[in-house]
Amino acid sequence: MSDDTDLVNGIETLQGKLAAAREAITRRFIGQEQVVDLSLAALLSGGHGLLIGLPGLGKTRLVETLGTVMGLNTNRVQFTPDLMPADILGSEVLETGADGSRAFKFIQGPIFCQLLMADEINRASPRTQSALLQAMQERQVTVAGQTRALAPPFHVLATQNPIEQEGTYPLPEAQLDRFLVQITVPHPDRDTERAILLATTGAEEAEAHAVFTPEDLIAAQSLLRRMPVGEAVMEAILDLVRSFRPDDPNAPEIVREAVAWGPGPRAAQALMLTVRARALLSGRYAPDITDVAAMALPVLSHRMALGFAARAQGQSLDGLISDITARITRTEAAA
């Protein structure tokens, strides 16, 4: 009983801090509440986020503000075609001592931080993109045959421009799967854009302040994994993920015809974590079916693809995910 009480008290305390963090973030990143919540959900779940949006929508500002509010040491890398793996991971240099002795010394790259912003990640070559794979999944890097751990917490928030693809290298499926969520950053509505103009073109701008510490974030990630998940929610997650696999005998006919490849078990794991994070951010103690419906698109959209025929017919991956998700969640809610 005391464990349950401790969990409830911990959740209530964490929800208070999250409310303060959200307020601090929205002072500098105005509006776009869903984008902020998805970014926080990625951090609370211990994962990485891929921000998709046009230039000038505040993606860099959001990541910088998140780093400050969450108390994380933040580095930014601008990905370009000539960027090399050593520019991210670091390298060994030959150092000469005062006595004339020589020894190799490892110079850490920008990846040795707590929050890495990989700006326009698809502009770097596949060789450089692959340098992030081990770090994102295993929280360690290998340079010159020696493995070096990345101190927790470690998160990557990467950005991509959805329309300018000239001179880019699309991320391979293996790396896309490392991102817990894909976050679409849309244009703000008129009222939000008015507020942005007033807040950012005057003599002073709002400053962000730290609400969390790295230790607070690690504790929050541990607490999130202790949150209960009901049987109905777990069944909805399993039904949803398996419904998008074209080789599954129970998949809907439209999925078998339209989808080239579907999400793997990592998608189900991502949903299990992010529905808990959304419940936390919504002020609840456990996730429900609405959380599954809300997190389906951010978790699944980069983990599956339409076949050529479906694309030629003008079918939309987002539309397919939304339709199947609505069908499954309605069924689970009625059960």
Which tokens in the block code for residue 171?
Answer: 């991320």
pTM, two decimal places = 0.92
Listed in order, strand segments (DSSP E) in 58-215 are 74-78, 90-96, 102-108, 115-119, 140-143, 146-149, 155-160, 181-184
Tell me, what's the pLDDT at 226? Answer: 94
Q: What is the CA radius of gyration of the chain?
A: 21
CA distances from 187 to 54, 226, 245 (A): 8, 36, 32
Question: CA dihedral in degrees (245, 277, 122, 242; nearest 10)?
Answer: 0
Residues shown for the chain: 335
Integer Cα distance of 90 and 67 in angstroms: 22
Tell me, what's the pLDDT at 165? Answer: 65
Tell me, what's the pLDDT at 203? Answer: 75
Q: Chunked in runs of 10, what are the mean pLDDT values of the chain (335 residues)?
A: 81 94 92 93 96 89 94 93 91 80 85 94 86 86 86 93 73 86 93 89 83 96 95 94 93 91 94 97 94 96 91 90 89 68
Provide the CATH number for the domain formed by 228-335 in this structure: 1.10.8.80
Q: Where are the domains of the chain?
A: 228-335
